[in-house]
Amino acid sequence: MRRLTPTLLALLVGTGLLLASPAAAAPPTVSHFSRMFDLPGFTGSTNQELADLAQTMLDPNADSENNPDPEMTSVYTYFGQFIDHDLTFDAAPSPTAPVDPTTLVNGRTFRFDLDSVYGGGPSAHPELYQPDGAHFLIQEPNPNGVIDLPRTPDGRAVLVEPRNDENEIISQIHVAFLRLHNRLVDTGLSFAQAQALTIHLYQQIVLSEVLPHFVGDDLTDATVNNEVKRFYKPGNPNRPDTPVEFSVAAYRFGHSMVRRAYELTNTTGKVQVFSATAPDLRGARQLPAGRQIDWGLFVSELTRPENKTPVSHVNQSRKIDGLISSSLFVLPIPGAEAEGSNVLAFRNLVRAKFYDMGSGQDLAKAMGVAPIAPAQFTDLPAFQQGTPAWSYILGEASKTAGGKTLGPVGGRIVADVFVRLLEVDKSSILHGRSKKDDQVRGANDAVDKLGAGPRTEPDEPFQLDDLFVAAGLAKRA
């Protein structure tokens, strides 16, 4: 068994990530929702007018247009969803009247701390852990012969964040983190050390790979180096506020990246995310036989020749634009169909209206960005004076970045929040401006300890391909 190396020990100590025992760990912090800008609400539209706008967002194509960046595979769609579930949970029901969002509590800590995976640790959430209090429970395999989340007899996943079992893709990303942690414990790390290192590697993925794919390399670098004006003020760094401009508008861009269907292996064929008439990828059940993901269909660095020829099975992300694929457009929410609230776009637009969100044009002006005229997004009469912020950010990505990344308003909000959260977290990779060399050294050492090398990019921080290989769920191409 490999033990904690001097390099890794130095990394953990030097970045403040060598945690105390789980029993001594601080309880999860509470974040409240807030506003980044004091703007007049764009609330004049009726619910019917919002429903009409939502209907224009249905993607008519069975096979949607790919993101123009060939490296933007669908792993980013679902890792982005995983990040969302780690940062935010608005438990309030879909509103039917005005709500002051600053009175609402975020159900997550709004930190890149994987509280969606660890909860409060073995003492607070013993149902997640094996009797030794160091390893996560995992089905290896489940009754269908595949690696899966721990589940109750009725198929419900045992999680502190149940949304990570919404579909089979995000549930298997969650499993990757459970296995990464367990394999680190198997090398001789304590629970606290494995937790700290797993969080550290997760933060590397977020900052060095995922954020640049979402907003571009230039904006990522400019934000990290404080070369662009920033607006997010987190308040108390121990419980940073959650701005609704991020949670209700900008970071909902991932809905447009979802494809209608995905190939999980070279033999599954395309399976829809949600379908009322055909087998689909919905969760809350034992993962079916034959549906263990071949991550070479989702991660470019793991893509093998047989995934590409004679027919490509690789799942490319949809481009970021103002359309939602048909398999996500209508959500499988029991009882919601009668009032139309099962339409995803309508739900997003109504929440923003009743949270008194400003228009996209007003957001742009507040950020010093030249706004795009409302008529460029829709010809519906109700939206000629302004565009709902979420719709604006999606359309902006299409018009200014060709759907490859977010545009200047959406991108700056997302980058600002991501980077600021890492800056104010005393245990993060950015607190005190930890050098990239330290991150790379830690990533290489962790991968080496797990026998998951050689790395595709040994001079870069931990990457998504490293995650799945280090978790023992994939092999290098």
Q: Could you tell me the pTM of the whole model?
A: 0.93
Query: How many whole angstroms separate alpha carbon 462 and alpha carbon 210?
Result: 11
Give the angle 87-91-95 at the CA atoms, nearest 5°. 120
Backbone angles phi, psi at 12, to 5 degrees: -65, -45
Give the angle 383-250-331 at the CA atoms, nearest 5°. 80
Predicted pLDDT of residue 50: 97
Select from 277, 272, 274, 254 the least CA-distant residue to 262: 272
Residue 212 CA, chain-centre distance (Å), reads 14
Residue 412 CA, chain-centre distance (Å), reads 17
Residue 337 structure tokens: 């169909």
Residue 334 CA, chain-centre distance (Å), reads 25
Cβ atoms of residues 395 and 322 within 8 Å: yes
H or E element at residue 106: strand 105-106
Sequential pLDDT tens for the chain (477 residues):
223 333 333 443 344 344 333 333 444 568 999 999 999 999 999 999 999 999 999 998 877 789 999 999 999 999 999 999 999 999 988 899 999 999 999 999 999 999 999 999 999 999 999 999 999 999 999 999 999 999 999 999 999 999 999 999 999 999 999 999 999 999 999 999 999 999 999 999 999 999 999 999 999 999 999 999 999 999 999 999 999 999 999 999 999 999 999 999 999 999 999 998 899 999 999 999 999 999 999 999 999 989 988 888 999 999 999 999 999 999 887 665 545 588 999 999 999 999 999 999 999 999 999 999 999 999 999 999 999 999 999 999 999 999 999 999 999 999 999 999 999 999 999 876 557 788 898 899 999 999 998 999 999 999 999 999 999 999 998
Select from 415, 412, 417, 416 the least CA-distant residue to 111: 417
Query: Is residue 126 reached through a cis peptide bond, with omega within 30 degrees of 0 on the bond before it?
Result: no
Backbone angles phi, psi at 259, to 5 degrees: -80, 165
Residues facing 475 on adjacent strands = none
Predicted pLDDT of residue 432: 60
Query: How many whole angstroms separate alpha carbon 15 and alpha carbon 285?
Result: 39
Residue 100 gets the label, from left (phi > 0), alpha (psi -120 to 50) or beta, of: beta
For 90, the 3-state DSSP assignment is strand
